[in-house]
Chain A
Amino acid sequence: MSKQESNPERRSQNRNQDTNGYEDMENGHRDLDEDDGRARATGEALVEIDDLTKIYDPDGAHVTAVENMDLEIGDNEFVCVLGPSGCGKSTVMECIAGYLEPTEGEVLINGDPVDGPDPSRGVVFQSNRLFPWKTIGQNARFGPQMRNAVDDDRIRELLEETGLSGFEDSYPHELSGGMQQRAELVRLLANDPDIMLMDEPFSGLDAMTKELMQEMLLDIWEEEDRTVLFITHDVAEAIFLADRVVVMTARPGQIKDVIDVDIDRPRDSSVLTSEAFNEYQKRANELIHDEAERAMEQKQQETQEA
């Protein structure tokens, strides 16, 4: 995988066209004049999922959500986990985040087993989880505030980059869905995690906002050294964002295949119409089609039994 030497000027023009007149995103763009040549994944495993099995046992129902999963995620890698709904994607993420204990196997971070949640592993939830009782500014500060290490300049910078300046004193419910997601991203970045775990963070957004959010996420990721595990059931989203797309089977979740996405970075929405993108999308669609069908059948069966 290689990173293209990009022309920052062309890039920022592109973004301006994309974002013009939409919400207040025009404030959100940023000239990327540095870091574009940042090294790709180093190959060392930062996250190592080792033979992970998770069985839920509510009232003896015994649901095997994930079975014997092995996956390594390198430092600074952007990995998407793609799979039909109910296949165990969130379960995998929750094991990495430290919310769940694996039934079998383990998750290692830099070689050490996960032992509960940690600020080095930041999480963005599927449904927005900004604290409703805190303003956007208070939310953004939350992580550093827990350690008494608030850096006001950094917070201001992040809010500016995401087009949220001027909304510090607003409460989350006063913002649009897209702005809330950006604010949650700011809260996460202000805490400077090594690993970002994102569980279908854009699935509730309209198509237009979603595209802008994806571009913003890539900008942020390219700017600083970070590892991302991004969960989605959206094929195009996975390919647009990822270095590698991990396709999962229907429940019990296992890895069906891994697609290396060799599209130059930085990427913007023009990638979406490229030949290469279409090829990847076709392949991923084929892989996931049967699994989605199986997942649907499972769901139907469950509804009938219930």
Chain B
Amino acid sequence: MDTAKWAKRSASILGLLGVWFVVGALGPQTLPGPAAVAGAFVGYVGSPVYWNAITLSTLRVLGAFTIAALIGVPLGLLIGWSVVFGDFTYPALELVRPIPPIAWIPFTILVLPSLAFSLGIASFEIDTGIVFITFLGAFFPILLNAIAGVRSIDDEYSRAAQSLGAADWQTFRHVIYPGALPSVHTGMVVGMGLAWVNLVAAEMISGGGLGFMTWSAYTGGSYPVIFVGMITIGILGYVSSTIVRYIGASQLPWMEGSTA
């Protein structure tokens, strides 16, 4: 990217800081300015509490996102491809989809256990409820985009494959799957963003990670730390979506104007 572009993008961030600075100076006592938050940041960067929260949240997102992709992509491709399969599965999924992440929390607390693992010296505890809610955030965009991806493929590509001798599964492998990939990719980028959204909502109520860190900063009255949490979540969400975007683009060398 050229320097002019970078200059404009930096200006956008500086502008945000400027607004914050002014509002912080004029606004309510409870709103800490950039300087106070920077101070809190310096304190937190040296603290294991901060890094543990980051690690825990990142692992939850990574796990939930991976499961969502492993289920959402094949399921979406099949629903898009087979009318019968779609009729059997899609209506149920459409009913579940509008339920917001927060509304799932009581259910997950009641039903989903916390799993404890022990691997040699280290032991883990996985809060499956939080992972599940995070999973939902990534799952639906991935699923819906996979379905839309299949449906966007012109029928003539499948016809061409059939007339060249492709059996149904070969048409799926060589036409449906690659043809839907650009849309699947979009779904994954969006899904990664929503995974963070759902994760933080779940963590605030249910515990652990950056969500809980941010929420307990509020209940404990250390307001600058709220912003440390918010900014960290923002950066991690952005970085992980960008990674997904780049990995995806590298898998789509045939797209016009793709970065690979």
Interface residues of A (CB under 8 A from B): 97-99, 116-119, 121-123, 125, 127, 129, 131-135, 142-143, 146-147, 171-173, 187-188, 191
Contacts and interface: CB of A to CB of B under 8 A. Distances in A.
Nearest to B178: A133
A122 B156 CA distance: 13
Nearest to B182: A133
15 contacts: A119-B163, A119-B164, A121-B163, A125-B159, A129-B160, A131-B161, A131-B174, A131-B178, A133-B254, A134-B174, A147-B165, A171-B254, A172-B254, A173-B256, A191-B165
B253 A171 contact: yes
Contact-residue bracket for chain B: 20 to 34
Interface string B158-187: 011111111100100011001101000000
B256 A142 contact: no
B161 to A, nearest CB: 7
A186 to B, nearest CB: 12
A2 to B, nearest CB: 33
Contact of B179 (A119, A133, A171): A133
Contacts, number: 65
B254 A132 contact: yes
A122 B164 CA distance: 7
A131 B157 contact: yes
A116 B162 contact: yes
A125 B156 contact: yes
Nearest to A99: B159
A135 B164 CA distance: 16
Given A125-B156, A133-B181, A118 B253 contact: no
Contact of A142 (B156, B161, B253): B161
Contacts of A99: 159
Nearest to A118: B163
Interface string B125-155: 0000000000000000000000000000010
Contacts of A127: 156
Given A134-B254, A146-B170, A129 B156 contact: yes
Contacts of B252: 133
A235 to B, nearest CB: 26
Nearest to A193: B163
**Residue from B178, B252, B254 whose CB has the most chain A CB atoms within 10 Å:** B254
Given A142-B174, A171-B253, A97 B163 contact: yes
